[in-house]
């Protein structure tokens, strides 16, 4: 791959490749072509595979931007709560943007909530980008809940 551009756009560049070749591709891309003068824009559904490579994240749902943030700012904005059924009503009252159940425990994602409000309700975590992707795409009103720009 010969690259001499300030902007490189790759749409699903590893589609059809097995895990070994996908990792090799991204390692080569970063090691051989990334510098401070080149922006690499990757569109992918394999969010979990590129999460550690990202500096910024932009999520689009049905043509609308539902999340646009620097990766290092996500932990300041989003918090994930793992709680028990006993604490679920109080956790839901704080208006999570997404909720799912895993092995009898409820996992809720909040946007803009202070961790101090949540810490008595269960275990707090920083959601992964894959978790945020699911939250943004499955939210009943994703545009309103995640601050979509019109």
Cβ proximity of 30 and 111 under 8 Å? no
Integer distance in angstroms from the first to the last C-alpha of the chain? Answer: 37
Q: What is the mean pLDDT of residues 45-66?
A: 89
- Domain coordinates in residue numbering, the chain: 1-53, 73-145
93-125 per-residue burial string, b: 16 or more CB within 10 A, e: under 16: eeebbbbeeeeeebbbbbbebeeeebeebbeee
Is residue 69 pLDDT above 90, yes or no?
yes
pLDDT digits (tens, 9 = 90+) for 17-44: 999 999 999 998 888 777 777 888 999 9
Report the SS3 class of residue 102. strand
pLDDT tens track for 101-149: 998 899 999 999 999 999 999 999 999 999 999 998 886 654 444 443 3
pLDDT, position 93: 97
In this model, does residue 3 exceed pLDDT 80?
A: no
Predicted local confidence at residue 140, as pLDDT: 61
């Amino acid at each position: 791959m010969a690259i001499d551009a300030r902007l490189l756009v790759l749409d699903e560049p590893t589609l059809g490749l097995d895990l070994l070749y996908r990792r090799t591709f991204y390692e080569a891309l970063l090691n051989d072509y990334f510098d401070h003068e080149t922006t690499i824009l990757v569109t992918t559904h394999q969010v979990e595979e590129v999460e550690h490579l990202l500096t910024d994240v932009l999520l689009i749902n049905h043509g609308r931007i539902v999340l646009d943030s620097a990766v290092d700012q996500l932990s300041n904005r989003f918090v994930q709560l793992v709680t028990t059924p006993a604490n679920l009503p109080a956790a839901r009252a704080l208006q999570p943007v997404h909720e799912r159940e895993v092995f009898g425990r409820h996992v809720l994602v909040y946007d803009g909530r202070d961790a101090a409000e949540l810490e008595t309700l269960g275990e707090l975590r920083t959601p992964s980008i894959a978790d945020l992707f699911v939250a943004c795409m499955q939210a009943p009103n994703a545009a309103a809940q995640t601050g979509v720009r019109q």
